[in-house]
Structure 1
Amino acid sequence: MIYLTIIAMVLWGLSWTNAKIVGNYGEASLMMFWRFLFATLAFTPVVFLSGDTFNINRTSFRYVLINAIFMTSYNYFYFKGTQIGLAGTGGILVTTLNPIFTALFATLFFHEALPQKNIIGLLLGLLGGGIIMRLWSLDANALIQSGNLFFLFASLSWAIVTLNTSFSKGTISFIPFSFWCFLLSSIISLPIAIHEPIMVIFTFDGIFWLNMMLLSIGAMAYGTSIYFLASVRLGAHSASAFIFTVPITAMGFAMIFLDEMITLSTIIGGTLTMSAVYLINKK
């Protein structure tokens, strides 16, 4: 489980570069819809091969619906942020704030105990996130133009996905759970993309298709499903800890393929937020 999750996290790190490239071809809503649809198609044979059933009961459907809503919001903010912002910065900001927001939400809404080390971790994480976003030099308009506000909303969305997936434990197998999440997300995202030229992607070149397949099949169908499984088997907090590996790979891939430069504020903020994740998940 650990090795499978690490591979999934590397694919997630690469996905920030993939999203930046794909975002050059069309609007966030269009890319989001096709990503979900291709992931659904890719995952359908997995359900058959696993021997699982497509059946879903009312309780499981509630968890799937919540996940689909927030997976859709996550992907919209994810594509929008990478279109106008830096992929490497987004990869660091979103993936380090996710476990911090997960711990915060678990405490605020589900009354989980918050040890002193977690309080320190939350404060460190919020400070690190502020440094990455350079809040001292930004007004509201600049926050949007930098893409960082979209990254912040993406992180909040994924924290809810993490907690909801953990609570679904015992109600449905992770394979049909993943399939239904992808399918329902496709349905939810279609009205958002309906005003875009839906079929235009079939005129795009091989670079688009390579990156879209890595996003849909690699990062989403494989990566997200493995993350769901880790959330169920290891718990939400432990699963979030694996995201610790994503910032490094996200920044590395962005530097290699997009020629992005890492700033001092990103290094300092990223170090603080990763330290926060370590504290929160330390036994």
Structure 2
Amino acid sequence: MRSILQFKLQIALIFAMAVWGLSWTNAKIIGIYTSPSLSMVWRFFLASICFVPVMKWTGHSFKIPQNAFKYVFLNGCLMTLYNYFYFRGTQLGLAGVGGVIVTTLNPIITSLLAVIIFKDMLKSKDVWGAVLGLTGGAFIIKIWSVNYFDLVQNGNIHFLLASTSWAFVTLVTTSSKNKIHFIPYSFWSISIAGVFSIFISMGEPILSVFNYGWNFWLNLFILSAGAMVFGTTVYFLAAVRLGSRKASAYVFTVPVTAIGFSMIILGEHLDWSTAIGSLFAVSGVYLINKS
């Protein structure tokens, strides 16, 4: 019985990672219709609503423990930053490239920040992982032919900033794990980020989204209910039931699905530098996660 439940959870985790990969294409499509700030408002709004049944189903209280509030608030700020860079990057650049840069560089940047902030010790495998990951990132953004203007124009600077801001999200979330459960933590972080997004979008036609057709709303729903609620819940549930190391191994499928969906749906092309860079970056993440 236990093995059947684990098998079902593994299938759900594969599907969740595919949705995370698809979300980069969803964001690119949404960027055709509206600005990053309005995309953020409606993504957080829908995700907050969809998280309420999850809170009820899991029996968690909506009350934030006093010693956890600072983590929730800070994470809400960081998620606001991340989502802005995420939407702006996909609006300007290639969705597949963004999916590779952010998902592979994030654990590498997180490890480096942990050394700087928490004085963590790096093992030799972590150093080699960081070198491989940064080399991969250099190939993906074609560092040999790039200047600041190119980085801004093709969205890659936003992907790098998204990866860095998500690294801080990871560190804050790790620090909060003994203060509050991840489900109410996620719900309130998303809700706070939604409030910040409303302030950012002041002066914009916030209700203009109701003029858009089913294509906009389908992609927004997948981004909100699919990637942010379903994907996050399944991933953390798998981390508890299967173990964090086994669950994190499935994250390696995200860059592949991000590129795959962007090629199939958006018609993006995989050039040699992205392919080589992806292999370097994924190898680097593997080394860092290896026990």
TM range (shorter): over 0.9
- Matching of residue 53 in structure 1 with residue 57 in structure 2: no
For the residues of structure 2 that align with 1:29 and 1:218, how far apart are their CA atoms? 20
Closer/same/farther in 2, CA of residues 239 and 129 from structure 1, 3 Å limit: farther
Aligned to 1:218: 226
Identity %: 51
For the residues of structure 2 that align with 1:40 and 1:214, how far apart are their CA atoms? 14
Aligned to 2:275: 267
For the residues of structure 2 that align with 1:140 and 1:211, how far apart are their CA atoms? 31
Question: What TM-score do you get using the length of structure 2 for normalisation?
Answer: 0.92
Matches within 5 A, 1:69-80: 69-80=77-88
Q: Identify the range of structure 1 (165-174 vs 37-46) with the bigger mean alpha-carbon deviation.
A: 165-174
Matches within 5 A, 1:150-169: 150-169=158-177
| SS of equivalent to 2:32 | coil
Q: Identify the range of structure 1 (167-176 vs 177-186) with the bigger mean alpha-carbon deviation.
A: 167-176
- Matching of residue 64 in structure 1 with residue 62 in structure 2: no
- Matching of residue 146 in structure 1 with residue 187 in structure 2: no
1:202 maps to amino acid = F
Matches within 5 A, 1:11-90: 11-90=19-98
2:107 maps to amino acid = P
CA offset digits 1:227-272 (Å, max 9, x no partner)? 455677855x776554321100000000000000001000010000
**Ranges in structure 1 where 5+ consecutive residues have no aligned partner:** none
1:78 CA drift (Å): 0.5
CA offset digits 1:35-94 (Å, max 9, x no partner)? 001000111122122211101122211111121111111110000000010000101111
CA offset digits 1:97-134 (Å, max 9, x no partner)? 01111111122211222111110110111111011001
For the residues of structure 2 that align with 1:110 and 1:270, how far apart are their CA atoms? 28
1:145 CA drift (Å): 0.3
- Matching of residue 173 in structure 1 with residue 189 in structure 2: no
Matches within 5 A, 1:229-240: 234=243
Aligned to 2:4: none
Match for residue 129 of structure 1 among 125, 133, 137 = 137
CA offset digits 1:186-208 (Å, max 9, x no partner)? 01111111221000111110000
For the residues of structure 2 that align with 1:16 and 1:112, how far apart are their CA atoms? 32
For the residues of structure 2 that align with 1:26 and 1:165, how far apart are their CA atoms? 30
Root-mean-square deviation (CA), in Å? Answer: 1.8
For the residues of structure 1 that align with 2:56 and 2:113, how far apart are their CA atoms? 35
Question: What TM-score do you get using the length of structure 1 for normalisation?
Answer: 0.94
**Ranges in structure 2 where 5+ consecutive residues have no aligned partner:** 1-8
For the residues of structure 1 that align with 2:248 and 2:81, how far apart are their CA atoms? 19
1:138 CA drift (Å): 1.1
For the residues of structure 2 that align with 1:72 and 1:91, how far apart are their CA atoms? 18
Closer/same/farther in 2, CA of residues 169 and 51 from structure 1, 3 Å limit: same
For the residues of structure 1 that align with 2:134 and 2:61, how far apart are their CA atoms? 42
2:66 maps to amino acid = R
Aligned to 1:190: 198
For the residues of structure 2 that align with 1:175 and 1:132, how far apart are their CA atoms? 34
1:4 CA drift (Å): 4.1
Q: How many residues were matched structurally?
A: 282
Q: Identify the range of structure 1 (224-233 vs 242-251) with the bigger mean alpha-carbon deviation.
A: 224-233
Closer/same/farther in 2, CA of residues 225 and 193 from structure 1, 3 Å limit: farther
1:219 maps to amino acid = A
1:221 maps to amino acid = V
| SS of equivalent to 2:164 | helix
For the residues of structure 2 that align with 1:38 and 1:201, how far apart are their CA atoms? 13
1:171 maps to amino acid = K
Q: Identify the range of structure 1 (135-144 vs 6-15) with the bigger mean alpha-carbon deviation.
A: 6-15
For the residues of structure 1 that align with 2:214 and 2:235, how far apart are their CA atoms? 28
